[in-house]
Structure 1
Amino acid sequence: MRLHGATALVTGANRDLGRHFAEQLLHRGAAKVYATARRPELVDLPGAEVLPLDVTDPASVAAAAAAAGDVDVLINNAGVSLGVNLVGGDLDKIRLTLDTHFYGTLAMIRAFAPVLAGNGGGAILNVLSVLSFQSLVGNNAYAVAKSAQWALTNGVRLELADQGTLVTGLVFGPTATETMKAYADKALEGGTLPDGVLNDPVDIVRTALDGVEAGKIEILADDFGVAAKASLTGDPSGFVLETASAG
C-alpha cells in the first residue's frame, strides 16, 4: 500500500501514537490526513484536517465516515488503559475498555469498509499490543479487549479480502507514551519502568507504516511482540517485562 498520495484517517490523533501516525503520514507525502479525536480542540498538527470522533458513539462514527469519503487508509489507534482487573474491577470500566478497543474498532471498520472499497481497497491498520497474546494482573480488562481486537483483525482480513483491503495488526510492548507513563505512575512501585524497556513511539510508528507499505498483515514491532507471539506455542503465562528487551 503506497502511502505517498494516500488519504488517511487516524483515530485518537490528539496525542501519543495517534499524533505520531498523523505526523509521519504527512511527512511521507499523504495527500490528506484526517486527525480525529473525542476532543478535536486538542489536536495541534499543522497540515492535518481535524475531525471530531468518538469511536464508542455510533452517530459520531457515521458522521466521520460521511465527512471523510475519500479515505483509503484507516488507522484504528484510539484506546483507553484504565488499569482494571476482571474479577474485582469496575464493570463500567471493563465495558468502556471493550467498547473502545473492540466495538469501537469494529464500528470504524463497518463504517469505512464501503469507503475503502469505493476508493480501490486501501488498507486498515489496527493498533494492538503484546497483551493481545498475554495477560497482566492489574490491567486484565485491557488484555481481554486487545485479544478480542486481534481476533477481530484476523476475521475482518478474511471478510475484506475480496474488496482488496489490506488489514494489518500492529503488536508491540511498553512504549513511552503519556498513557503508558500514567499507568506506570499509578500501578508500578516507584512509578517507573526499568531503563531501556520503553520503546520510542516514533520508532514504533515508523515500523508500522513501513509494514503497511510492504503489505504485511501482522507487524511485530519489537522484541516484546516477537516473544509474546512465540509464547502462544507454550503454556499460558502472564506478561513479564523482563522476558524480553525492547527493540
Structure 2
Amino acid sequence: MTAIQGSVALVTGGQRGIGKALVEELLRRGAAKVYATARRPAPSADPRVEAVALDVTDPASVEALAARAGDVTLVVNNAGVLYPSGLLTGDLADIVATFETNVFGALRVARAFAPILAANGGGALVDMHSLLSWGAGAGAYGASKAALWSVTNSLRVELAPQGTQVVGVHLGFADTEMVAAIPTGKIAPALVAAAVADGVEKGDSEVLVDEASRRMKAALAGPVEGLTVAVGR
C-alpha cells in the first residue's frame, strides 16, 4: 500500500476529465504536491498544484519532466487519446498515434520515473486502463488499452524488487469530453478518482471501478464472442 497523505504525485493529463478529478482527490487526501500535466498547461490557483507541460509522445519532454520532478512518490499514467479508428478502415496514422500516446507514452513515463520512485522509497505507479482492455470492437483505442494492460502487468513484476506498487485501473465510460459523443451511461470522474485513491491506499494491484468492468473481466472466462462491446466509431 502507498500513503497519499504527504505524498508528491504526478498525474499525466491532469488538467481535465478524470485527470483533474484525480488531482483534486489526491489533494483532498493530503498529498503535499501534485504535478498536473498537459500539453498546454494552465496555471493553478492552488499552491500545491504545479502545472507542467508534458507530451508523452516526445521522449525529451518526458525526460525534462523527470529531471524537474525528482521528488515524486506516486505516478498516475492518465494521459490518453481516443480517435474513431477501426483497425481495417481507420487512418493508419491515427492508429499509430493512439499507440504512441496510450501505450508507448505511458511506458516512457514509467521508465523515466521508475528510478525516481525507487530513490524515494518505492511509491506507486497507476495506469488507467478501460473495460475495453478486455473488449472487442473498439478499434485502435481498445487494442491500445489491451496492450497497456499487458505492459502494466509486466511492469508490476519488474518493479516489485524496488517495492513499487503497480495498480491497473479499469472502468467503463466516464463523463468527460473525450467520450461526450458516445451515447451510453457514464460514471462521474470524481467517483473514478475516489476508487483509484482507495486502491492505492489499500495496496491493491487492480481496481475495477464499476459493475461494467467487473462483468467484462468475468466474461474473459467465456467464449471470445462474448467480449464484443458496441462502441460507435
Q: Residues 74, 230 of structure 1: CA spacing in aligned structure 2 closer, same or farther, 3 A cutoff? A: same
5+ residue gaps, structure 2, are none
Is 1:239 matched up with 2:214?
no
Offset of residue 45 of structure 1? 5.5
- Which residue of structure 1 aligns with residue 106 of structure 2? 105
Offset of residue 27 of structure 1? 1.2
Q: Residues 204, 45 of structure 1: CA spacing in aligned structure 2 closer, same or farther, 3 A cutoff? A: farther
Which one scores higher on RCO, CA 8 angstroms, separation ≥ 6?
A: 2
- Which residue of structure 2 aligns with residue 144 of structure 1? 143
Offset of residue 46 of structure 1? 2.0
Q: Secondary structure of 1:176's partner? A: coil
Counterpart CA distance in 1 for 2:92 and 2:45 is 35
- Which residue of structure 2 aligns with residue 155 of structure 1? 154
Counterpart CA distance in 1 for 2:46 and 2:130 is 29
5+ residue gaps, structure 1, are 185-191, 242-247
Is 1:46 matched up with 2:49?
no
Q: How many residues of Structure 1 are paired with residues of Structure 2 in the alignment?
A: 227
- Which residue of structure 1 aligns with residue 188 of structure 2? 200
Residues 171-203 of structure 1 deviation map (CA, whole Å, 9 limit, x = unaligned): 00011111110x42xxxxxxx33xxx2111111
- Which residue of structure 1 aligns with residue 132 of structure 2? 131
Residues 130-166 of structure 1 deviation map (CA, whole Å, 9 limit, x = unaligned): 0000022xx3100000000000000000000000000
Identical pairs, percent: 45
Matched to 1:18, the amino acid is: G
1:171 touches 1:219 (CA, 8 Å); kept in 2? yes
Counterpart CA distance in 2 for 1:12 and 1:225 is 22
- What is the TM-score of this pair, normalised by structure 1? 0.89
2:165 touches 2:205 (CA, 8 Å); kept in 1? yes
2:134 touches 2:220 (CA, 8 Å); kept in 1? yes
1:121 touches 1:165 (CA, 8 Å); kept in 2? yes
Q: Secondary structure of 2:113's partner? A: helix
Matched to 2:191, the amino acid is: D
Matched to 1:239, the amino acid is: V
Q: Secondary structure of 2:220's partner? A: helix
Q: Secondary structure of 2:90's partner? A: coil
Offset of residue 102 of structure 1? 0.6
Q: Residues 124, 88 of structure 1: CA spacing in aligned structure 2 closer, same or farther, 3 A cutoff? A: same
Counterpart CA distance in 1 for 2:117 and 2:52 is 18
- Which residue of structure 2 aligns with residue 175 of structure 1? 174
- Which residue of structure 1 aligns with residue 208 of structure 2? 220
1:23 touches 1:45 (CA, 8 Å); kept in 2? no
- Which residue of structure 2 aligns with residue 28 of structure 1? 29
2:44 touches 2:50 (CA, 8 Å); kept in 1? no
1:40 touches 1:52 (CA, 8 Å); kept in 2? yes
Q: Secondary structure of 2:104's partner? A: helix
Counterpart CA distance in 1 for 2:76 and 2:45 is 17
Residues 76-119 of structure 1 deviation map (CA, whole Å, 9 limit, x = unaligned): 00000111100011011000100001100100000000000000
Counterpart CA distance in 2 for 1:240 and 1:217 is 28
Offset of residue 240 of structure 1? 4.3
- What is the TM-score of this pair, normalised by structure 2? 0.95
Runs of 4+ in structure 1 off by over 4 angstroms are none
Q: Secondary structure of 1:169's partner? A: strand
- Which residue of structure 1 aligns with residue 8 of structure 2? 7
